[in-house]
């Protein structure tokens, strides 16, 4: 028999409640990969992230900036130019993203089989 779950498991003082689980959302890991080689403009990011709406991409970038994962640099030019780049904290996520990609590559056949079995069950 397993032990019961503690009601304080995710207490407000627990570090996991403030941890930026952004890395697990749909777009953050992809943005991290897009910024790996250096600063990018919004429309540059939209090319490989074509499935994300501009609104959701802007929200993702704002959230990542809030969490200290990237910086937004606005340049006083005509037309105005804004670039996004990873901070050292954001760059440290590359290790996690690489680990997740390695895991997915190793387990993709199992995941596909499990999904097919789930869909085909009565």
Structure tokens at 91: 């760059």
Distance between CA atoms of residues 89 and 107, nearest Å: 28
Greater confidence (28 vs 7) lies with 28
Q: Which two tokens stand for residue 66?
A: 């809030």
For the whole prediction, is pTM greater than 0.85? no
State mean pLDDT over 115-120: 91
Domain range enclosing 72:
15-120
7 falls within a domain = no
Q: What is the dihedral of CA 112, 114, 119, 122, to 10 degrees?
A: 150
Q: What is the pLDDT of residues 37-94, one digit of tens each?
A: 999 999 999 999 999 999 999 999 999 999 899 999 999 988 889 999 999 999 999 9
Q: Does residue 10 fall inside a structural domain? A: no
Measured at the CA of 54, the angle between CA 49 and CA 57, to 5 degrees, comes to 60
Which DSSP helix (H) or strand (E) runs through 90? Answer: helix 88-91
Q: What is the pLDDT of residue 82?
A: 94
**CATH number of the domain bearing residue 82:** 1.10.10.10
Q: What is the mean pLDDT of residues 21-37?
A: 82
Asked if residue 30 belongs to a domain, the reply is yes
Task: Please state, in angstroms and rounded to a whole number, the distance separating the CA atoms of residues 53 and 67.
Answer: 21
Specify the DSSP element, H or E, that contains 34. Answer: helix 28-34
**Residue 2 located in a structural domain:** no
- Evaluate whether residue 46 is within a structural domain: yes
* Total domains present in the chain: 1
With respect to residue 42, please indicate whether it lies within any of the assigned structural domains: yes
Segment 25-33 mean pLDDT: 88
């Amino acid at each position: 028999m397993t032990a019961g779950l503690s009601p304080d498991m995710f207490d407000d003082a627990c570090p996991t409640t403030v941890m930026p689980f952004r890395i697990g959302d749909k777009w953050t890991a992809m943005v991290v990969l897009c910024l790996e080689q250096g600063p990018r403009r919004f429309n540059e990011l939209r090319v490989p992230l074509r499935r994300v709406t501009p609104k959701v991409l802007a929200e993702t970038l704002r959230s990542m900036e809030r969490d200290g994962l990237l910086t937004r640099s606005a340049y006083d030019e005509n037309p105005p130019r804004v670039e996004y780049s990873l901070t050292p904290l954001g760059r440290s996520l590359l290790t996690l993203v690489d680990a997740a990609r390695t895991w997915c590559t190793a387990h993709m056949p199992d995941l596909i089989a499990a999904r097919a079995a789930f869909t085909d069950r009565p």
